[in-house]
Every structure is written in structure tokens, then in C-alpha cells.
Amino acid sequence: MRKPTILLAIDSLMPEPLEMATQTGYAPALQFLMENGHYYPNLVSSFPTMSVTIDSSLLTGTYPDKHRIPGLTWFDDGEKEIVNYGTGFTETLKLGMRRSIHNMLYRLNNEHMSSDVTTIYEELATRGIPSASINAFVYRGNTPQQLKVPSLFKALTHFEDGKWTTEAPPILSLGAFQKISPWNFTFQIAAGNYRFAARELQRLIRKKKLPMFTLCIFQDLDLRIHFKGPMDLKGIRKIDKQIQKILNMYPSWEEAINQNRWLIIGDNGQAPMHKKRSKAVIDLRKVLKKYRIAKIQKALRRKDQLVFSVNQRMAYIYLVDQKITFQEIIAELKKDKRIDIIAWKENSKVNVVSGSKKGHLRFEEGRMMTDSYNQSWNVDGELDLLDLNKTETNHIAYGDYPDALARLHGALHSHAGRFLVVNAKPGHDFKAQSTPPHYGAAHGSLHKQESLVPLIITGTEEEPTYPRIVDLKEFILRMLD
């Protein structure tokens, strides 16, 4: 008989603190699943390493060049507007609460994600296999679901009478908007906390309504690490206690893995910030102060020259003034040695330079070299800019930037417009107008600190083709088939 697959995604779970937590008794449930399954400390995330982009790659099995969700914030060149799914309260307030909520709750799944890709939920539905999404903002399926905004927040949305119909999996839990258990409660409106998410999953198990595939996301660890730093074990312990309660729904923990397949993943890591905030922050408004920068609270004006969309340690810089060249902006960016990678596309090629290293790298999809994931590329220039190593047989191995060619290519081809992708060196993050601060740690960049996350597989001997989040969709569908 086919066993249900339960995927628990723990936001900002990283290999080193996970291993320390399991070795010191902080996380007995995760320790049990690791010891009775397979553990991978090097699962490669998507890019930018921001949750909505990562979850879109997880569900569609593609990078942003296919699924079209470029980051937590980006600039829509067609509509001439900044799209923001909720980067922080002040930024959201200035952009417009109603618009941001509409982007996050509706447009992300029903308009922005490409119709050329399919999600796990959509593919399972065509095979008659039920599925569930708990606590995930990215949830697109093909079952119409009517969601309802809590009465106190109806005025903050564009939805008529506080209701809207969305395409979702057959079972959907989304904070106060849609619940599996009518008695479950959360103070967080848009999504539930880790206790809420665990109770929703327990409800499915208790009522024997667990579908063949369930994605359940625990988001709380991310916020703790932003303030407390990457080695915060108390956050892992709190989530582990909820996983213990889930395993306790069965006669024994052994029976839990006999009856189900369990996948545990982190979605992104986090890089610790420089202790001095003044040195940690790269203020793009100061770096490019000679240009007229669009205000996020105003519609794009004819005199505006640049637009910034900051995704913590990664940022998109849009050249909306056609008279400005890439080279003049790059010349200013290269003056700041804290900027690690500067990339842009010209014709079919991706170009890479750096604020801290010399040289120029160009690459495109081709046949010259093959990388660790059997992807083929034409590469020319200074390989050290992306820490690439080439063997005598024209094989590419990755160092500090896992799967860098495909992930960078994906971001630069994720949406229309003239823009640069910039990454900060570890210890630093970007700032623009009203960007929220991150005192302990931050993520978003291409670096391995944010890109390598743990994967635990228990209850099956099957393995993914490659240890990448983008390969988990195929792996899950293969198990369910």
C-alpha cells in the first residue's frame, strides 16, 4: 500500500544548529527521525533565498525563470509597480496595506505564478490523489476554495464582503482565513504559528483524514534567528515539542514511520550579521546617491531613474531610465567592497563582476561544460567570481555558491525589465527605504550560508536525484507513484 508523505518545512532550519540540538537532547523527535532515516546536511535551496521563491521552487520543481516568483519583493515592469508580499510592517504600510495583502493572499498564487508550470497539488489532483497545505503562502492547486477575511480586517483588503475564491489543494489551512479545525486559534492572522500548524496536522491524523501528501510549514524560527543569531537552539526545541506531539498521535514513534513517509527540510539558512550595525548595512541609497530613486509610497514618476527591491542580503536594482547604462551603475557599486556579486544579463549571457574581486565572468546555457547536477553551460572568464572549479574533463564543481549558474540564471530571467542582481558579502545586508533591520542574521543571497539546508527522509529508502529543493517535487511524485 502507498504510504502518505508528510513534509515538514521548518523556516530557517540549518544543519549546524540542528545537529547540535539533536546531539544535546534539545530535539528528541528530530533526532529519532534522523537516526531512523537518511540525513542530508547539504540540500541546495532556491535563489533568492526567500520563502515565497523557495516554496514556489519546491512545489513546481523549477527555478524562478520558470515559475516567475522573483523574490519577496520585486518590480513589475509591465504594471510599473513594486510587488511586495510582506517584507516588513513599515515597508508594507508605505506601499499600501491593501495592495500588499492582495499580492500575498491572492495575486501570488492566482496571477503571478506562471501558468506554464504545475504544482505538486495540481499534478496529484490529475491523478486523483488528495493533498493538503498547512500554513503556506504558496499553495496553488486546482480546487476552488472560498476564504474569508476576519471581520476586523475586511477594510484592509480588496475582497468583496471579505471573501474570495482561490485555487488551492482540497485541504487548505491558512491562519484565520481558513482552518481545518474550527476550534483552532492563532493570534497571527495571515498564517498560524508553530502550535497552530501542529494542531492542524494533528486534526487530520486524529480524524483519519490525512491525504497522500501534506505540506506543513513552521515559520516561527525565522524571526527568532533574525534577532538572536543562527545558533538559537530554543527555537528548534519549541518546534520539536510540537513534532513530538504529532508523533505521539500514533501507538509508537516507530509506528508513525511505518505508516507514513516523513520529510523534514529547512528552506534557507541565515548569515550572521556584523556586530557593528553601521558596518553591516549597505545602504543602496547612499551607494547610488547621484541618481533619482523611486519612492515606494508613490507611483513611478517620469523623472525616477532607479528602483530598489531589497530581499535582505540580495537586491534587485532596476534601471527604469533608459539613458542609464549598466556600466555606470556597476562602476558605483564596485566601489563598495562589501558587495560580493554584481550580475546582469545581456542577450543570452549572464555577466558577473564583484566589488571585492577582479575580473569578469560570462555564462549561458550550452554544451561546453557540465556541472554536478548534469546541467550544461558555456562559461568564459574569471571562475573565481562564483568560486567555480573546472576539471580537465570540463566538469564544473561548486564551492561557496551552490548550483550558482542555474540559480543566478533563474533569478535574472525570472521577470521582465532592465535590472541588476547584487549580493552582499557574509556579515552584511542591504538597505533601501524603510527596509526592516536584521540584527542577528539575515538571508536572501547566493552564499552557501543561506543556501545549504538540512533534509531528513524517514519511512522510505527512496532518494532524490540530487539534494536540491528544486528536485523534491519529482522525488515526492515518484514516491507516490
| pLDDT tens profile 241-279 | 999 999 999 999 999 999 999 999 999 999 999 988 889
Q: Helices 15-23 and 233-247 sit at what angle, rounded to 10 degrees?
A: 70
pLDDT (0 to 100) of residue 13? 96
310 with 205, same domain: the answer is no
In a shared domain, residues 246 and 369: no
> Which cell numbers hold the place of 427?
556579515
Enumerate residues 6+ apart whose C-beta is below 8 A from 60: 66, 67, 113, 117, 118, 119, 473
Is the distance from CB of 458 to CB of 257 less than 8 angstroms? yes
265 with 329, same domain: the answer is: no
Name the residue range of residue 288's domain: 277-437
Q: What is residue 106's DSSP assignment?
A: I
In this structure, the answer to whether residues 361 and 236 fall within a common structural domain is: no
293: DSSP letter:
B
Nearest Cα to Cα of residue 425 among 402, 398, 450, 405: 450
Task: Let me know whether 127 and 172 are in one domain.
Answer: yes
Residues 138-181: tens digit of each pLDDT = 999 999 998 887 776 776 677 777 778 899 999 999 887 888 98
Task: Give the count of alpha carbons within 13 A of 249, CB side only.
Answer: 22
Residue 104 domain-assigned?
no
| Backbone torsions φ then ψ of 181, nearest 5 degrees | -95, 120
Residue 142: per-residue pLDDT: 93
* Predicted local distance difference test score (pLDDT) of residue 353: 98
Burial 229-243 (b: 16+ CB within 10 A, else e): ebebbebbbbbbbbb
Shared-domain flag, residues 264 and 292: no
Residue 435 has a pLDDT of 83
pLDDT for the residue 191: 58
Q: How far is the C-alpha of 142 from the C-alpha of 168, rounded, in Å?
A: 6
Residue 92 placed within a domain: no
List, for the chain, all residue ranges whose pLDDT scores fall below the cut of 70: 1, 152, 155-156, 186-192
Residue 63 counted as domain residue: yes
Q: Are residues 320 and 391 in the same domain?
A: yes
Residue 257 lies in a domain: yes
| Domain-embedded: residue 49 | yes
What's the pLDDT score for residue 434? 80
Q: From the centroid of its chain, how far is CA 61?
A: 13
Residue with cell 510599473: 80
Q: CA 399, CA 447: separation in Å to the nearest integer?
A: 9
Enter the C-alpha cell of residue 236: 528548534
Please list the residues that pair with 263 across neighbouring strands. 7, 457
Do 264 and 282 reside in the same domain of the chain?
A: no
- In sequence order, what DSSP letters do the residues of 309-369 get, joined into one string? EEETTEEEEEE-STTS-HHHHHHHHTT-TTEEEEEEEETTEEEEE-SSS---EEEEEEEEE
Same domain, 180 and 282: no
Which residues are CB-contacts of 134 (< 8 A; sequence separation ≥ 6)? 173, 180, 197, 200, 201, 214, 215, 216, 217
**Local structure of residue 461 (DSSP, 8 states):** -
Residues 37 and 178 in one domain: yes
Give yes or no: residues 263 and 174 share one domain. yes
**385 and 457 co-located in one domain:** no
CB 135 within 8 A of CB 175: yes
Domains contained in the chain, number? 2
Kindly state whether residue 103 falls inside one of the protein's structural domains: no
Looking at residue 468, which CATH number applies to its domain?
3.40.720.10
Q: What is the pLDDT of residue 438?
A: 85
- Is 149 contained in some domain? yes
Q: Is residue 98 part of a domain?
A: no
pLDDT recorded at residue 190: 56
